[in-house]
Structure formats: structure tokens, C-alpha cells
């Protein structure tokens, strides 16, 4: 199933725009409960004003809130970003650490965010269990677990470590474009013959094709 999905999405990658580990970390924190599209719209202005952890640590709260407001929950996110910048400066000399244990010790950073940063900024394989990934692996019958940490562990046992980051990209791409939460486009799914959940959505190919969405970069 992974091979077939990889063939469908050969260019699957992180859909957050970033130039370095700091930018990816901030963008991923901002992506909570919003879309990558909205995050990508606000981060150019945010990074132009606060290009590194030191400037972010000393940022004006109201200014940051105004910049990131379109992402929602902007007050809580601003609080997380200011604390994140301060922690990076105080504990890591302003640099983003490249170890999972260090990343998850930072304010507002959980395993999902840490794995995104490790896999895409440091080349360290990691499984990103977001809502799309979790939904698909359960629909595929790869796991019955709901807890993200348990999902990460069980899926990690099914695939070579070298594939973890790309597996995450491919499944997230498929979840965003075809295997939707409410009405999956089963009729145009490349793994419909292997999927135990086939029929949960639209099975007619023509109607299913109308449900397929494009991604943030389209």
C-alpha cells in the first residue's frame, strides 16, 4: 500500500515553507489547529521581523499577535513562541537542537512537532502522527491504537526506519487530498483494492474524482 501511495505522490514533502530548523520549528508550532496555507501566509512577515530565536525571545507580544492572528488561537500561540525563543536562547545558545529529547523539552513542542523538525530539517527519520496520518493508518488496518505515541511505535515496527519521514509525507498527502475524514474519495484511491475500509466514502470514480483536493502548493 505504501508503494502504491508513493507512486501516486512521488514528490510528497513538508508543505510548510521554511529555510532552516528555526523557521520550521516556529511554523510547525503555528500549524496547530489551522492549515499550512494560513501558516505559509503569515510566516514571511514573522521571519522578516524575527529572523532567529534571539529576536523572537525579545519580540513585542502585540506585534507577534497581529502577525499570526490569521492562524487562530494567536494569543496562546504568541505565548508559546515567546517562551520557545527564550528557551532556545537560554538552553541551546539560540540554536534548534537536533535530538528528540531536547526538542520535546521545549515549550509548546510535542513529539509530532519534534519529528517534523528532525525529519525535515536534520534528516533524522521520524513518524509524524497528525490527524491525517492517524486516520489513515487506522482505516488501513495497520493499527487500532488512538494514542499518537502508541501509533508511532506500532507503525514504526512495520516499516524500516529510513522510510519513516517519507511515509509520513505520503500518508499526510493522501489524507489531505483523497482520504478525507468525512467523505473519502474511495473510487479514485490507488489502494482501494487493499484497503479494508473501501466503501466508507464515494466509490463511483467520476463522483469520487470531484472530491479530490489540491494541496497548499497547487
Known catalytic residues are 112, 130
SS3 assignment, position 67: helix
Q: Which residues, 6 or more positions from 93, have their beta carbon under 8 angstroms from its beta carbon? A: none
Q: Tell me how long the chain is.
A: 218
Distance of CA 170 to the CA centre of its chain: 11
| Contact call for residues 26 and 118 (beta carbons, < 8 A) | no
Name residue, grid cell 502522527. Answer: 129
Q: Which residues, 6 or more positions from 191, have their beta carbon under 8 angstroms from its beta carbon? A: 1, 4, 5, 140
SS3 assignment, position 24: helix
Q: Would you give the DSSP letter of residue 14?
A: -
Q: Would you give the DSSP letter of residue 40?
A: H
Q: Which residues, 6 or more positions from 52, have their beta carbon under 8 angstroms from its beta carbon? A: 22, 94
Amino acid at each position: 500500500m505504501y508503494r502504491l501511495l508513493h507512486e501516486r505522490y512521488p514528490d510528497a514533502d513538508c508543505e510548510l515553507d521554511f529555510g532552516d530548523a528555526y523557521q520550521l520549528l516556529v511554523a510547525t508550532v503555528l500549524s496547530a489547529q489551522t492549515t499550512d496555507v494560513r501558516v505559509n501566509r503569515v510566516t514571511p512577515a514573522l521571519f522578516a521581523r524575527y529572523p532567529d530565536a534571539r529576536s523572537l525571545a525579545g519580540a513585542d507580544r502585540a506585534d507577534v499577535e497581529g502577525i499570526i492572528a490569521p492562524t487562530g488561537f494567536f494569543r496562546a500561540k504568541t505565548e508559546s513562541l515567546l517562551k520557545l525563543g527564550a528557551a532556545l536562547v537560554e538552553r541551546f545558545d539560540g540554536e534548534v537542537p537536533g535530538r528528540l529529547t531536547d526538542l520535546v523539552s521545549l515549550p509548546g513542542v510535542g513529539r509530532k512537532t519534534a519529528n517534523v523538525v528532525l525529519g525535515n530539517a536534520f534528516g533524522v527519520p521520524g513518524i509524524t502522527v497528525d490527524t491525517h496520518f492517524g486516520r489513515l493508518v487506522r482505516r488501513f488496518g495497520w493499527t487500532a491504537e488512538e494514542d499518537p505515541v502508541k501509533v508511532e511505535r506500532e507503525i514504526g515496527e512495520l516499516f524500516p526506519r529510513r522510510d519513516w519521514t517519507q511515509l509520513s509525507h505520503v500518508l499526510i498527502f493522501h489524507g489531505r487530498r483523497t482520504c478525507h475524514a468525512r467523505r473519502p474519495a474511495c473510487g479514485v484511491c490507488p489502494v482501494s483494492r487493499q484497503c479494508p475500509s473501501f466503501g466508507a466514502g464515494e466509490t463511483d470514480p467520476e463522483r469520487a474524482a470531484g472530491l479530490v483536493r489540491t494541496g497548499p502548493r497547487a
